């Protein structure tokens, strides 16, 4: 039976994503100067204020205020009229040392016995409905906002954009469980007050607001969408002239960012993962070093699911892993292929076999996916999954002004380097 499915995304300027990016910038700086750092860092942002809190065990010292300001500046909050400005916002740090009770369960004399940083369940998911093995609705939602951010930074074709934005895409699926077309696109973008009322009357105010809304909708439909499809021609088949667009449906969106809504680390976990497809264990990623399996095991589960789908084990796969705090071996591994399996064994047998190929103890996840690198700032907006695996150069600076340049590999869990081994394992 045909059905509709919807996913949303938020921009790097959304308050919750500002918080995520600050927390992950702190993680990166700690790991750059002390790869063994243990960090759980939370951020709150509101009108003119940033609050940092959390637990850290590290041999390095950081200027956390400068890191936070640099992150906010990079996002684009650089004007006082935004009521949240990198240069003038207040920053309060309440970061303290990590609990020794937790640490004794994680750190072991034999590193291979490193225990999980917490209990919990983590999920990884992959589907072959897109080239990056991600759900199409979420993929499009992310890419719409990434392209919108490019337009904002260029400040050429569209000159009134501000950093805060949200998107949402609804797809129609056919009886074959494959996406057929885009049905609705919702996009709300913060903007300058670029049309002033002719006078102080309510009628003039309504007229000015409608003029702005009409201009924004025209630019989204006639500039953003064509740019998106030119860059990603594989999505053209899903677009048509019957798409319903809801662009800034409330009217004006001038007040936004942390002035319009308080932001917190870890409050966009569905945006970060699969847009509501598959499942989610409830643990956030940003602000956590890889000893926290909320993060590292979720990446490992995605790595497994993606390589299995790419190898042809199934069209769609969900992998669940569970842990007990302080224990290295996972409590259990679960696999669901949603009836799309191409191998002649049960899903429970698939779950047993993948543990022959993938070591899911925390230390081995960290090692195989190179998770002790400073690679997390890039994950903190537009999703942790489905991103480009690449090697980049990053520069970090100590409070004393000393620079450290590092080559790091981003999104290692997106690599398809286990396909041949998976095929051999399942005789494909």
Kindly tell me the burial class for residue 232, based on how many C-beta atoms sit within 10 Å of its own C-beta (0-12, 13-18, 19 or more).
middle
Is 166 known to sit in a ligand binding site? yes
State the pairing for strand pair 49-57/179-191. Answer: unpaired
Is 205 known to sit in a ligand binding site? no
Is 215 known to sit in a ligand binding site? no
Question: How is 286-304 classified by DSSP, letter by letter?
Answer: TTB-TTSHHHHHHHHHHHH
Is 351 known to sit in a ligand binding site? no
CB 352 within 8 A of CB 334: no
CA distances from 63 to 46, 95, 397, 400 (A): 21, 12, 9, 9
Is 131 known to sit in a ligand binding site? no
- What's the distance, CA 384 to chain centroid? 4
Task: Give the DSSP H or E segment for 38.
Answer: strand 38-46
Is 292 known to sit in a ligand binding site? yes
Is 66 known to sit in a ligand binding site? no
Is 347 known to sit in a ligand binding site? no
231's CB contacts (< 8 A; 6+ apart) are: 143, 147
Tell me the three state secondary structure of residue 165.
Answer: strand
Tell me the three state secondary structure of residue 394.
Answer: strand
Q: How many residues does the chain have?
A: 428
Is 98 known to sit in a ligand binding site? yes
- What's the distance, CA 312 to chain centroid? 26
Is 284 known to sit in a ligand binding site? yes
Is 288 known to sit in a ligand binding site? yes
Is 14 known to sit in a ligand binding site? yes
Rounded to whole angstroms, the Cα distance separating 118 from 326 reads 7
Considering only CA atoms, which of 41, 42, 50 is closest in space to residue 69? Answer: 50
CB atoms within 10 A of CB 412: 17
183's CB contacts (< 8 A; 6+ apart) are: 4, 170, 171, 172, 243, 244
Rounded to whole angstroms, the Cα distance separating 333 from 46 reads 40
Is 157 known to sit in a ligand binding site? no
Is 295 known to sit in a ligand binding site? no
Residue ranges of the binding site for K(+): 42
Residue ranges of the binding site: 14, 16, 42, 55, 98, 164-166, 261, 267-268, 284, 288, 292
Residue ranges of the binding site for Mg(2+): 16
Residue ranges of the binding site for L-methionine: 55, 98, 261, 292
């Amino acid at each position: 039976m045909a059905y509709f499915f919807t996913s949303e995304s938020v921009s790097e300027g959304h308050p919750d994503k500002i918080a995520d990016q600050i927390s992950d910038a702190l993680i990166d700086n700690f790991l750059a100067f002390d790869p063994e750092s243990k960090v759980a860092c939370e951020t709150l942002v509101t009108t003119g204020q940033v609050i940092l809190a959390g637990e850290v065990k590290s041999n390095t010292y950081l200027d956390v205020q400068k890191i936070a300001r640099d992150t906010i500046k990079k996002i684009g909050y650089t004007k006082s009229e935004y009521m949240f400005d990198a240069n003038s916002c207040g920053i309060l740090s309440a970061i303290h040392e990590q609990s020794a009770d937790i640490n004794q369960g994680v750190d072991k004399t034999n590193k291979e016995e490193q225990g999980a940083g917490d209990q919990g369940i983590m999920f990884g998911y992959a589907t072959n409905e897109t080239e990056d093995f991600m759900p199409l609705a979420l993929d499009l939602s992310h890419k719409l906002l990434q392209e919108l951010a490019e337009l904002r930074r260029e400040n050429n074709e569209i000159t009134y954009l501000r950093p805060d934005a949200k998107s949402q895409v609804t797809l129609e699926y056919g009886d074959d469980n494959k996406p057929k077309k885009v049905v609705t696109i919702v996009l709300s973008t913060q903007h300058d007050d670029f049309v002033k009322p002719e006078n102080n009357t309510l009628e003039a105010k309504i007229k000015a607001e409608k003029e702005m809304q009409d201009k924004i909708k025209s630019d989204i439909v006639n500039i953003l969408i064509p740019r998106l499809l030119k860059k990603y021609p594989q999505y053209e088949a899903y677009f048509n002239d019957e798409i319903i667009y809801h662009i800034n449906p409330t009217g004006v969106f001038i007040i936004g960012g942390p002035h319009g809504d308080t932001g917190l680390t870890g409050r966009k976990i569905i945006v970060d993962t699969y847009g509501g497809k598959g499942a989610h264990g409830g643990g956030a990623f940003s602000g956590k070093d890889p000893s926290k399996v909320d993060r590292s095991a979720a990446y490992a589960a995605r790595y497994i699911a993606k390589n299995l789908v790419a190898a042809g084990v199934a069209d769609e796969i969900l992998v669940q892993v569970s842990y007990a705090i302080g224990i290295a071996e996972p409590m259990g591994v679960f696999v669901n292929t949603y009836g799309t399996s191409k191998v002649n064994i049960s899903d429970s047998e698939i779950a047993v076999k993948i543990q022959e190929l993938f070591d899911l103890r925390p230390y081995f996840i960290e090692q195989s996916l190179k998770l002790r690198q400073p690679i997390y700032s890039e994950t903190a907006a537009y999703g942790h999954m489905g991103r480009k695996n690449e090697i980049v150069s990053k520069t970090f600076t100590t409070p004393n002004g000393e620079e450290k340049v590092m080559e790091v590999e981003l999104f290692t869990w997106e690599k398809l380097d286990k396909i041949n081994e998976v095929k051999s394992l399942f005789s494909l």
